[in-house]
Structure 1
Amino acid sequence: MKPTLLILAAGMGSRYGGLKQMDELGPNGESIIDYSVYDAIRAGFGKVVFVIRHSFADAFKERFESRLKGKIETEYVFQELDYLPKGFSVPDGREKPWGTGHAMLMAKDAINEPFAIVNADDFYGKEAYQSAADFIKTQPDENKYAMIGYPLQNTLSENGTVSRGVCETDEQGNLKDITERTKIGWENNEIFYYEGDSKTRLTGKEPVSMNFWIFKPSFFTHLESGFIEFLKAKGTEMKSEYYFNACADELIKAGKVSTKVIDTDSKWFGVTYKEDKPVVLESLNSLIKKGVYPEKLWE
């Protein structure tokens, strides 16, 4: 059974200023999603599931269905603010959905095989997808997951701070702890994370999660029960979010699962801010010149 790629594409890109999921960055109008799916296909993935919003569903499907038809099976699921478990409701005043864990749960009925999950606006690189596919082939245990780890210094933006899950591993390369740092950035050629009025220096070599994880279908059961507990504790808050990697972190610390951190030399880049776009264009053109991708992706 071929693995599935789950792409989180429901974010509205408030900092970016538009639907960055569909922004044309390649020489023939390709988006980062195009390159992600292309890499997944050549790594052996058999299906892609998109998590999107109803508000832009028609435009999204029009953009990608014709390109992917006959190349990979596609399915769409939707994340909306009021898509909640029975017995829960949206508090008055809340505007945003409930985070990546909530988005991932929208796909629980669409995925019955091992799968990888990625962000729509992050470019992860050819080798990362191949590493994910290789792990799935060689590790059938339902309780063994994996995460593609990138050096922190290779994942920052020069145009503002970013959120990163900073990872700690054991001697076997398994994830011990992941700490969500919501404000990391450059300052005078050094890297700091900021918390309130304080700042802490980082080396830049710390492995970080860029939300490229490899799971088994059983993870959905853990994720769903965790979301219910989250809603009981924080469901009345206006901006609290449920992260799927926080759920995985809890399972690891409880000894219920293990997660292999797969280091990669793949080039990562993303478009957190609109000012990041020229860097992405330059990076893609460089990879095309090196022959990693054809100039026209879908021929």
Structure 2
Amino acid sequence: MVKPTLLVLAAGMGSRYGSLKQMDGVGPNNEAIIDYSVYDAVRAGFGKVVFVIRHSFAKEFQEVFSAERFGGRIAVEYVFQELEYLPEGLAVPEGRVKPWGTNHALMMAADAIHEPFAVINADDFYGAEAYETIGAYLKELDGSRGRYCMVAYDLNKTLSDNGTVSRGVCGVDAEGNLTSMVERTQIERMPDGQIVFHDGGADEPLAEDTPVSMNLFGFTPDYFAHSKSYFAEWYARNSGNLKAEFYIPTMVNKLIGDGEASLRVLRSAAQWHGVTYKEDKPALMAAIERMIAEGKYPRNLWK
């Protein structure tokens, strides 16, 4: 049975957080969120981790997150996302400085991944259950095309106490497949306890258990060819917008809408943890301490 690969999107510097938060210590021995992600992936049977990074911090990153750090338990590769890394015939529009988005970052790994793979954000703590769930699904997809998956969380387990968040709100059919994914911004819990999003108009309520995407997707390698092909179309429509981004949900919605792929929604009852704001870090560190006390993680992760 093939071992899936973990693709870690680590090229973002975290503008709101104000530092290279992918490398910020949150564990008792200065482990980063990435350490826990890789640890959980190893336990779930993943065979390789591929990091998408930028040349500007490559040396620093590679010195920290190497195969040696992980005790040789998993193969490690690095690929690079840069503004000018575009399909042949396309050029960076004058004045463009913003990265091209998560699906563009994913495209950078096309030559490094030839097996089913999961995609994660470097700064999200997904939990062991999520890796076990998606790993088991991906192991059954070797040789498949157009059968993708994602892990969805209950909205109420993905909020921050320190500000609003953006989440991909998922529509799911009776068979458990994704029908739509809509990005909702400025989601927060109001003083009356209700969860709402403020997307420019009147406040709209959302149910506590609304399934939302935290960018934990599973794909087979054919997804790279779809992405490269559609990026040219997307670029033609959006190159004039210097802030437009080519997101993973953009590509997923396109493939589902065209009937070229299905995406199974794997539900997780776990509590998601992340560091959207600096003030989120103490809560994450406390949660890790609780999980260590419960025996979910060793105190010295890689010893």
Q: Same fold by TM (over 0.5)? A: yes
Name the CA distance, whole Å, in 2 between partners of 1:87 and 1:55: 25
Q: Which residue of 2 aligns with 1:92?
A: 94
- The Cα offsets for residues 112-135 of structure 1, whole Å up to 9 and x where unpaired, read as 000000000000110110111110
Q: Which residue of 1 aligns with 2:109?
A: 107
Name the CA distance, whole Å, in 1 between partners of 2:195 and 2:122: 25
Name the CA distance, whole Å, in 2 between partners of 1:258 and 1:238: 31
Q: Please tell me the residue identity of whatever aligns with 2:8.
A: I
| TM-score normalised by L of structure 2 | 0.96
Q: Please tell me the residue identity of whatever aligns with 1:186.
A: R
SS for the counterpart of 2:69 is helix
* 1:170 aligned onto 2:177: no
Q: Percent identity, aligned pairs only?
A: 54
SS for the counterpart of 1:285 is helix
* Matched ranges for 1:154-193 at <5 A: 154-188=157-191, 189-193=193-197
Q: Which residue of 2 aligns with 1:283?
A: 287
Q: Which residue of 2 aligns with 1:201?
A: 205
- The Cα offsets for residues 224-283 of structure 1, whole Å up to 9 and x where unpaired, read as 111111111101211000011221111112211111100112221100111100110011
Q: Please tell me the residue identity of whatever aligns with 1:25.
A: V
Q: Which residue of 2 aligns with 1:151?
A: 154
Match of 1:76 among 61, 75, 78: 78
Name the CA distance, whole Å, in 2 between partners of 1:281 and 1:136: 30
State the 1:186 CA deviation.
2.0
Mapped contact 2:158–2:271 kept (Cα < 8 A): no
Q: Please tell me the residue identity of whatever aligns with 2:46.
A: F
Mapped contact 1:37–1:48 kept (Cα < 8 A): yes
Q: Which residue of 2 aligns with 1:34?
A: 35
Name the CA distance, whole Å, in 1 between partners of 2:206 and 2:139: 35
* 1:258 aligned onto 2:262: yes
Name the CA distance, whole Å, in 1 between partners of 2:90 and 2:46: 35
Q: Please tell me the residue identity of whatever aligns with 1:254.
A: D
- The Cα offsets for residues 160-217 of structure 1, whole Å up to 9 and x where unpaired, read as 1111110011111111111111221222122111122422111121100100011000
Which consecutive unaligned segments of at least 5 residues does structure 1 have? none
Q: Which residue of 2 aligns with 1:219?
A: 223
Give the stretch that moved more between structures: 23-32 or 57-66: 57-66
SS for the counterpart of 2:35 is helix
Q: Which runs of 4+ in 1 moved over 4 A?
A: none
| TM-score normalised by L of structure 1 | 0.97
- The Cα offsets for residues 13-32 of structure 1, whole Å up to 9 and x where unpaired, read as 10011111000000001000
